[in-house]
Amino acid sequence: MWYIINFVFGALFGSFLNVIIYRSVEGISIINPPRSFCPICKTTLKWYDNIPILSYIFLRGKCRYCGAKIPLRYLIVELVPAFGFLIHSLFFSLPVTLILNSLLFITIAVIYIDLKIMMIPDFAWLIVGFAAILDIFLHGELFLRVIAFSTVLIILLILKFRYKDGMGSGDIFLMSAFSLLLSIPLAFYMMVLSSILGILFAIFKKSKIIPFGPFISLSGYFLYMFSIIFLMR
Ligand SMILES: [Zn+2]
């Protein structure tokens, strides 16, 4: 039963993520209008057009009203958290599952939003911050975390003021929140890993501007998971 709840909640959160991603990128309010609508014909969707995963499959990826193609992204953003939450609940304890679920949630949001509009939404680092507080109750290490947090923050602030075009404030908030969650030494691995991934991305894309958010979130999410598995926390 617990596994099914996680799967369903993952799909529901994925559906909510689609709304957040679409509205953040378009610059419209997340809560207004309250009902979802087709981005092409603007028809307000009925509840049965909006069932996570199932509606996309039944409508064969098309709007019921105007026939416009719904991007495959909508299905992926519902499937990944559904299976992700399920896998977390199969292998980890309840509090760790909740932390991993929230990390996966913000990772998907940051990947789509930061790559599209080069901005990290504030809820991302706030959620990682809450996850860190929960993890302090689970695994302690308050002192080490404060050292990891302040060291990472100082390094990032120095980099920001030396190289003006380097990191955005969103990157700094997100990386600092993750270092509070990951503690020593993982916070430093996260810093190195996300920088390497970001630079590789920039080389591959031949881009001068690096959206670091996706790589910070991915590194933080996987390193937290590895820390639970291999350090037997
Ligand atoms: Zn439509």
3-state SS of the chain?
CHHHHHHHHHHHHHHHHHHHHHHHHHCCCCCCCCCCECCCCCCECCHHHCCCCHHHHHCCCECCCCCCECCCHHHHHHHHHHHHHHHHHHHCCHHHHHHHHHHHHHHHHHHHHHHHHCCCCHHHHHHHHHHHHHHHHHHCCHHHHHHHHHHHHHHHHHHHHHCCCCCCHHHHHHHHHHHHHHCCCHHHHHHHHHHHHHHHHHHHHCCCCCCCHHHHHHHHHHHHHHHHHHCCC
How would residue 33 be classed by pLDDT, with cut points 50, 70 and 90? confident
Distance 115 CA to ligand 1 centre (A): 25
Q: Which of 16-25, 78-87, 99-108, 124-133 has the lowest mean pLDDT?
A: 16-25
**44 C-alpha to ligand 1 centroid (Å):** 9
In this predicted structure, what is the pLDDT of residue 233? 60
Q: In this predicted structure, what is the pLDDT of residue 165? A: 64
Question: Residue 104 Cα, ligand 1 centroid: separation in angstroms?
Answer: 30
Ligand 1 mean position to 205 CA, how many Å?
33
**pLDDT tens digits, 66-110:** 999 999 999 999 999 999 999 999 999 999 999 999 999 999 999
Distance 175 CA to ligand 1 centre (A): 39
Distance (Å) from CA 18 to ligand 1 centroid? 16
Q: How many angstroms does the Cα of residue 198 sit away from the middle of ligand 1?
A: 36
Distance 49 CA to ligand 1 centre (A): 11
Centre of ligand 1 from the C-alpha of residue 37, in Å: 8
Residue 166: which pLDDT band, with cuts at 50, 70 and 90?
low
- 62 Cα–ligand 1 center, Å: 8
- Give the pLDDT confidence of 145-160 residue by residue, as tens digits: 999 999 999 999 988 8
CA of 70 to the centre of ligand 1 (A): 9
Mean pLDDT score, 113-124 = 93
